[in-house]
Structure 1
Amino acid sequence: MKKKYIYMLTMTLALGTLGACKKYLDVNPQDRILTSNYYKTQTEVFSGLVSIYDSFGYQYSGLYDKVAIMDVASDDHWAGGGGPGDINDLQVMETYKLNSQSGPSTYLWSKGYQGIFRANFFLSKVTDAPIDAGLKSRFAAEAKTLRAIFYFDLVRFFKNIPLLLQEVDPAKVNDVVQALPAEVYAQMEKDLSEAIPALPATVPAATEGGRITKGAAQALLGKVYLWQKKFDKAAEQFALVNGPTPGQVNPANGYKLLNNYADLWNVNNKFNSESILEIVKTTSSNGGWSNAGASDGNLLNIITGPRGYQPIKPDAPDYYPGYGFLSFTKEFFAVIHYDPRNAPTVANLDSLRKNGIANYSDSYNNTGYMLEKFIGRQKNKPATGQTELNFGQDIYEIRLADTYLLEVDALLNGGAAVGAGSRAYQLLNAVRARVGLNPVAVTMDNLVLERRLELAGEGHRWLDLVRWGRTSVLAYKGFDATKNTVFPIPQKELNNTKIEQNKEWGGTK
């Protein structure tokens, strides 16, 4: 969906670092739009809604996003880049040397609360907006779903967080306290349960692609239940998303696994039948270096590109030279090497160089295996703006293979039948059949491996390992199970406030 930006004099209040994420336009003070005069037309209301979506897609000006953080935290990737200090937040995340003042915590916290404040403000205004009742209901449902997305990330990353559902009086902003995680999860369940009936099953991709649908909210609710080990409720929501016959189109929403796995990474294949929710990117935002995070381009496309890439032979891939981040470990390559998803997932620069097809410069901790799914291509570079910041590949927040495997997870751990012919068996093996693999039994080890291979490089692995309690595979990176299952709350949020640091990081919460 096309992004728009609105300037409102008193639009949001910030918890500490939130202010760093606001976007400004140069305006004459006499032309400023006050909130008291806004939300009077459908266009104005929709602009307010778009501002929440803008937070959903927000990337850090230091050239990373949530996917990059989760990748380098996992056992499948090295941070890479030009050296041990290049994009330092990713380097300290990789080695688990982060603390309350160093690492990506500030970005994750700021992004979440920026979105929450915008959603809260929008919900306080849309109720009385003089627009069609049906549209009002849908807009509110989108805002509640987005608020749930922000809270879902925050509670998983930080555990003990403030639960804010309305604007905060500026005089009381430092008096905000944290809620119990159970209270945050209960609010997400409430928001999503209220939102689902008002959301459309499908949207026209050409005009509304990227907007929240019923399936996106149901999938998110399933994830919220799964993280709380409410396996039966999670399976119920995922079944609504996945449809009655695994591997076949779901008649309720049109979702279906793509026949060709590689087509998922075709930048022109936005809003395909496997896409449940995408973060929309564009080549036309004209993002520049003065505020790279404000760009609507996909920053993963440039940071994952091989450093100094030079094609030698005509059949060399047309990679756009990038910064060499998120390289795969040699151990991961050994696991995926003979899987059909290898080529669409891994760019084997080592092989290209050895065979004289192309050359490149080594990244830090170079393995020669880069993240093919997101490398920018010469044929896809933008016609205008700063090339590196404006590639237009969307990012899947949720896709169908993910929800298929999560339903398997819920069924398996909830004690449902998982033998040959069962629903869990059909779901797991529909994902495998799509890439030509034979069926396997539904076991935890097989599920763990399938999610690792199917979703490689998409930011799921670390969260999966934490949820499953399988973090021992991260020990070689310095992962400490006594503290690294949560992030440290940024120090700026602790200074002169009632927010307390998590006990894992030396606090009392």
Structure 2
Amino acid sequence: MQASMLNFRVMKMKNLYIACIAATLSIGFTGCSKPEDGPLERITEDYAFDSTDKNGRYAEMYLNDIYSVLPDGFNRIDGNFLDAATDDAISSQAGTGIDIFTKGFLSVSNNPDDAWSKNYEGIRKVNFFLNKIDIVPVSDAIKNTWKAEARFLRAMFYFELLKRYGGIPLIADEVLNPDNRTNFSRGSFEECVNYIVSECDAIKDAVQKDPVPSTDYGRISNGSVLALKSRTLLYAASPLYNGGNIGGSAAQQRLQGYASFDKERWNRAAIAANELIAGSAGKFALLSSANFKANQVFLSRRNSEVILAHLGADNKDLETNNGPVGYSNPNLASGRTNPTQNLVDAFPAANGRPISEAASLYNEQDPYSNRDPRLAQTVLFNGAEWLKRPIETFEGGKDKPNNTTRQTTTGYYLRKFLGNFETASQYGNSPHNYPIFRYADILLSYAEARNEYLEAPDASVYQVLYDLRLRAGIAKGNQSGYSFGLKNVLTKEEMRQAIHNERRIELAFEEHRFWDLRRWKMAKDALNQPLTGIKITKGASALSFEKVKVTDIAFADPKMYFYPIPDSEILKNSNLVQNSGW
């Protein structure tokens, strides 16, 4: 591993052109052959695995290319965050692919998040790599590490498919080619979960140990493997899958979850999360409150909280896509992502109490004062400092001029992930690394699973929320019966609500809300309601604030709990059973 993962991941592959790409499970593949001569830009896949390449240069580049299939959540759905398909945000641009979700138009032939081809292409590349790597004369130690990395990537791709479609075809180590057109059947949900977990167990000691050297930052590590195992088991234990089947035929039901509820699944999820937590000393930890407030979780290339990220080159794409619109070149932005009032109201007051219970701190006509500091780190609201002036989202303000369609629809703009440009004159290049796994998520996964397994939350569950709130800047307080805004004695149901809300605000815009509402089986209610914003009117001496309905969101219950298998795949493979309702 002679060069940094960052350099590999952001470099253009000048010396290697991957000519053969698999689009689907059942499509035939173009044959690849090693050219006798010609420019390196025309090298085929087989050429990457060369018995004379003693350093494994091309093979490693091939592996690095597979990393590009990992999730990247920034503005990826027709220019929008996936969160704009939830109750947390609205796209300022009408008529984009995200509307297919928000209007309930998802179909077998129209899915803006069609992950089927992408992830099976990744799986095929992994299998090709595993099939060919032994040809390359690198040391066994390097080769075994690369194999383990590839197996993790394959398991990750299967999980990305599982959370969208339920049980999917498991093709083992088979490399699809024109001579092998097997029509695979879908594995059951349980079989797919067991496979992903077994792969994680098999490779967790074969990948690099944390903390990885700086030259290899971004590569798969032991923490990445344990995080995938934790997330897989958390989903498997959740209400949608854990005996909460949405119906359909017997064949469909085995693809969409377990036949009956088993509380022990929550215990397995808690144990898996705790395995990572217990071994995190010197490896992973929540950032200090000061570093967290300085946005270092998302802006520092490497920090103790990010377990695995999709690394990207420094740029200003997020700012120009999502920043406020009231600036001219070179700071012109599209204001694409507009957080909702629904999300803003989920952030508690500065003492940690819900705003509905914090009358002494929360004022509807001064709604952004005395709030959880994470609100200002997530949302740009009226009066927030940005590029050397306060944001103006009052009616007729610079950032809501009402003379263009390119402006906020809710009175808010996205702040999270953007560089620290409060006092800057213009946007500059910043690190933008999409967090696939971070430590706060693992802590919350443990708290959720532990709470669901017990009859009442124990001290370890409370501690997770205390730690996150302390790090965010919420004081413990001296109010009798409360700590960090939480009652000292919560029922299981009350703690569940607290954890759900903590996930919502701590992990906002990290593509959790979309999936959490589904796995909790709460999308039917949360995604069939009005989405609200704020209307701010500037008077002679003061601003007035009014919550207003912006639009409705629709969720076709129950079929939208799962994506439909693409119709193109069903037509090509008669063994694929479609999900119920499609």
2:255 counterpart of 1:255: no
2:417 counterpart of 1:371: no
Is the 8 Å Cα contact of residues 74 and 462 (structure 1) preserved in structure 2? yes
Partner of 1:231: 266
Partner of 2:76: 64
Q: Please give the per-residue CA displacement for 1:82-133, whole angstroms capped at 9, x wherever unaligned.
A: xx21xx2112122222212223133x22321222111111122224432111
User: Which among 32, 52, 56 is matched to residue 66 of structure 2?
Assistant: 52
Is the 8 Å Cα contact of residues 25 and 120 (structure 2) preserved in structure 1? no
Is the 8 Å Cα contact of residues 399 and 407 (structure 2) preserved in structure 1? no
Partner of 1:158: 165
Amino acid at match of 2:285: Y
User: Which among 339, 356, 366 is matched to residue 372 of structure 2?
Assistant: 339
2:464 counterpart of 1:427: yes
2:309 counterpart of 1:269: no
Would the alpha carbon gap of residues 8 and 264 (structure 1) be closer, same or farther in structure 2, given more than 3 Å must change? same
Q: Please give the per-residue CA displacement for 1:372-399, whole angstroms capped at 9, x wherever unaligned.
A: 01346675534xxxxxxxx641111111
Separation (CA, whole Å) in 1 of partners of 2:408 and 2:182: 43
Amino acid at match of 1:224: T
Partner of 1:503: 579
2:390 counterpart of 1:359: no
Is the 8 Å Cα contact of residues 83 and 89 (structure 2) preserved in structure 1? yes
Separation (CA, whole Å) in 1 of partners of 2:79 and 2:464: 25
Is the 8 Å Cα contact of residues 319 and 375 (structure 1) preserved in structure 2? no
Would the alpha carbon gap of residues 176 and 457 (structure 1) be closer, same or farther in structure 2, given more than 3 Å must change? same
Is the 8 Å Cα contact of residues 289 and 473 (structure 2) preserved in structure 1? no
Is the 8 Å Cα contact of residues 281 and 298 (structure 1) preserved in structure 2? no
SS at match of 1:116: helix
Moved more, 112-121 or 170-179: 170-179
Would the alpha carbon gap of residues 448 and 401 (structure 1) be closer, same or farther in structure 2, given more than 3 Å must change? same
SS at match of 2:129: helix
2:28 counterpart of 1:14: no
Separation (CA, whole Å) in 2 of partners of 1:328 and 1:168: 43
Separation (CA, whole Å) in 1 of partners of 2:223 and 2:578: 34
Is the 8 Å Cα contact of residues 302 and 375 (structure 1) preserved in structure 2? no
User: Which among 88, 112, 116 is matched to residue 109 of structure 1?
Assistant: 116
Q: CA RMSD in A?
A: 3.2
Is the 8 Å Cα contact of residues 201 and 253 (structure 1) preserved in structure 2? no
Structure 1 segment 371-390 matched on structure 2, within 5 A: 371-375=414-418, 381-382=428-429
SS at match of 1:78: strand
Structure 1 segment 34-49 matched on structure 2, within 5 A: 34-40=44-50, 41=53, 42-49=56-63
2:514 counterpart of 1:462: yes
Is the 8 Å Cα contact of residues 234 and 449 (structure 2) preserved in structure 1? yes
Amino acid at match of 2:513: R
Is the 8 Å Cα contact of residues 558 and 581 (structure 2) preserved in structure 1? no
- Percent identity between matched residues is 24
Is the 8 Å Cα contact of residues 48 and 62 (structure 2) preserved in structure 1? no
Q: Please give the per-residue CA displacement for 1:394-426, whole angstroms capped at 9, x wherever unaligned.
A: 11111111111110011111227623xx21221
Is the 8 Å Cα contact of residues 219 and 241 (structure 1) preserved in structure 2? yes
Partner of 2:256: none
Partner of 1:240: 275
Moved more, 473-482 or 368-377: 368-377
Structure showing greater radius of gyration is 2
SS at match of 2:416: helix
Is the 8 Å Cα contact of residues 297 and 306 (structure 2) preserved in structure 1? no
2:564 counterpart of 1:488: yes
Partner of 2:154: 147
Is the 8 Å Cα contact of residues 565 and 579 (structure 2) preserved in structure 1? no
Offset of residue 458 of structure 1: 1.5
Offset of residue 173 of structure 1: 3.6
Would the alpha carbon gap of residues 491 and 258 (structure 1) be closer, same or farther in structure 2, given more than 3 Å must change? farther
Is the 8 Å Cα contact of residues 23 and 121 (structure 2) preserved in structure 1? yes
Q: Please give the per-residue CA displacement for 1:245-287, whole angstroms capped at 9, x wherever unaligned.
A: xxxxx3252433342333345764122111111110103xxxx
SS at match of 1:397: strand
Separation (CA, whole Å) in 2 of partners of 1:39 and 1:300: 37
Partner of 1:386: none
Separation (CA, whole Å) in 1 of partners of 2:234 and 2:60: 32
2:200 counterpart of 1:186: no
Would the alpha carbon gap of residues 53 and 71 (structure 1) be closer, same or farther in structure 2, given more than 3 Å must change? same
Amino acid at match of 1:340: P
Amino acid at match of 1:72: A
SS at match of 1:366: coil
Would the alpha carbon gap of residues 343 and 365 (structure 1) be closer, same or farther in structure 2, given more than 3 Å must change? closer
> Going by fraction, where is helix more abundant, 1 or 2?
1
Would the alpha carbon gap of residues 266 and 349 (structure 1) be closer, same or farther in structure 2, given more than 3 Å must change? farther
Separation (CA, whole Å) in 2 of partners of 1:116 and 1:226: 23
Structure 2 residue ranges without an equivalent (≥5): 1-5, 30-35, 238-264, 348-367, 385-390, 477-483, 530-552
Amino acid at match of 1:243: A
Partner of 2:341: 330
Offset of residue 451 of structure 1: 0.7
Offset of residue 205 of structure 1: 5.9
Offset of residue 240 of structure 1: 2.5
SS at match of 2:138: coil
Structure 1 residue ranges without an equivalent (≥5): 21-26, 245-249, 284-296, 312-317, 383-390
Separation (CA, whole Å) in 1 of partners of 2:463 and 2:513: 23
Would the alpha carbon gap of residues 102 and 371 (structure 1) be closer, same or farther in structure 2, given more than 3 Å must change? same
User: Which among 387, 391, 396 is matched to residue 435 of structure 2?
Assistant: 396
Separation (CA, whole Å) in 2 of partners of 1:98 and 1:124: 37
Is the 8 Å Cα contact of residues 258 and 264 (structure 1) preserved in structure 2? no
Separation (CA, whole Å) in 2 of partners of 1:236 and 1:195: 18
Offset of residue 48 of structure 1: 1.7
User: Which among 122, 131, 137 is matched to residue 124 of structure 1?
Assistant: 131
Q: Please give the per-residue CA displacement for 1:174-224, whole angstroms capped at 9, x wherever unaligned.
A: 723322222221221121111101122224564222111111110110111
Would the alpha carbon gap of residues 68 and 397 (structure 1) be closer, same or farther in structure 2, given more than 3 Å must change? farther
Offset of residue 34 of structure 1: 4.3
Amino acid at match of 1:49: L
Offset of residue 474 of structure 1: 0.9
Would the alpha carbon gap of residues 298 and 460 (structure 1) be closer, same or farther in structure 2, given more than 3 Å must change? farther
Separation (CA, whole Å) in 2 of partners of 1:418 and 1:16: 45
Query: TM-score normalized by structure 2?
Result: 0.71
Amino acid at match of 1:397: I
Offset of residue 77 of structure 1: 1.0
Separation (CA, whole Å) in 2 of partners of 1:319 and 1:454: 31
